[in-house]
Amino acid sequence: MELRQKVIVITGAAGGIGAAMARRFAADRPEGLVLSDRPGTALAPVIADAEAAGCATLSVTADVSAEAEVQALARAALDRFGRVDLFCSNAGVATGGLLDAPDRDWSQAWAVNAMAHVYAARAILPSMLERGSGYLLQTCSAAGLLVEVGDVPYTMSKHAAVAFAEWLAITYGSRGIGVSIICPQGVRTPMLMAGFEAGMLGPKIIAAAGNILEPEQVAETVVDGLRAERFLILPHLEVAGFWRRKAENPDRWLDGMRRLVRTTTGDTPAAPTTPATPAAPATPAAPTTPAAPTTPAGSGTSS
């Protein structure tokens, strides 16, 4: 798919990967860019940059964990531009939670990282099927193929997102609907950097496992992946190797992951606290000074 003269919706567009995609897509002169994020976020600078690049834009506030708001976003885009060619379901949340993460964190991860993609497809697919063409892009994560050691609600919800995209591609791929997923490992965005600053386990392991990319690099890979209509878009090419090794020999891969955690933190995971603890998202015990980053063969982790 070429982006020129397309109508494109992006969720989670106020910062990080979403904002980088908006700015990069704008350079390809789409017919319209509909940029959305949750209430309280600053879409204006991204809208201003897209308009400066000559794009017609629409800014829509929507919490993607609420189906009615995703429906309203799709309606606003259709009302303004008459169609949507590409819907980028990009918003996501990390929790930093382990086994004892509060249920509200599990629910939020599930709603934003998994169900929001379902809501997007329900909202926009009927109009795409009617026209016999359209494209759904989901920002998933390498955590949806592998494991984000420091965030189990994130890992589970991203695996669900990958599975949903596969199902969409199988079910609608022969009816003119394109589907792609982006599965980056570490990307320098507020999500990852906040985790670093909080000393969380996940970002430390991600840094040990591979390169941290800039969001602009991810956006460029996305444009290439969309142009090739590739289902699996991997900004970090090494993720393909980790994923293959996991499939070839899961036991060896799990061994490699355990070794990566040990060499990065010197820790074993903290025992879960009692499930009812209504505390802030659990972070693991403070890690000791990390050893020199090593990536055991066959491992890989992600945000």
Stretch that binds ligand NAD, among 77-85, 189-197, 240-248, 273-281 (CB under 6 A): 189-197
CB 41 within 8 A of CB 16: no
For the chain, give the number of residues: 303
Question: 228: left (phi > 0), else alpha (psi -120 to 50), else beta?
Answer: alpha
Q: How far is the CB of 221 from ligand NAD (least distance, A)?
A: 12
Stretch that binds ligand NAD, among 33-41, 118-126, 166-174, 255-263 (CB under 6 A): 33-41
- CA-based R_g, the chain, Å: 19
Please indicate whether residue 135 is annotated as part of the active site. Answer: no
Measured between alpha carbons, how far is residue 84 from residues 118, 130, 231, 271 in Å? 16, 12, 19, 48
The verdict on 155 binding ligand NAD (CB under 6 A) reads no
21: closest CA among 67, 74, 119, 87? 87
Quote the CA–CA distance of 33 and 7 in Å, as a whole number.
Answer: 6
The verdict on 9 binding ligand NAD (CB under 6 A) reads no
The verdict on 302 binding ligand NAD (CB under 6 A) reads yes
**Active-site annotation holder among 119, 135, 154, 172:** 154
CB 56 within 8 A of CB 37: no
The verdict on 95 binding ligand NAD (CB under 6 A) reads no
Site string for ligand NAD, 226-265 (x = CB under 6 A): ----------------------------------------
The verdict on 298 binding ligand NAD (CB under 6 A) reads no
The verdict on 112 binding ligand NAD (CB under 6 A) reads yes
Stretch that binds ligand NAD, among 45-53, 120-128, 185-193, 280-288 (CB under 6 A): 185-193
Catalytic positions are 154
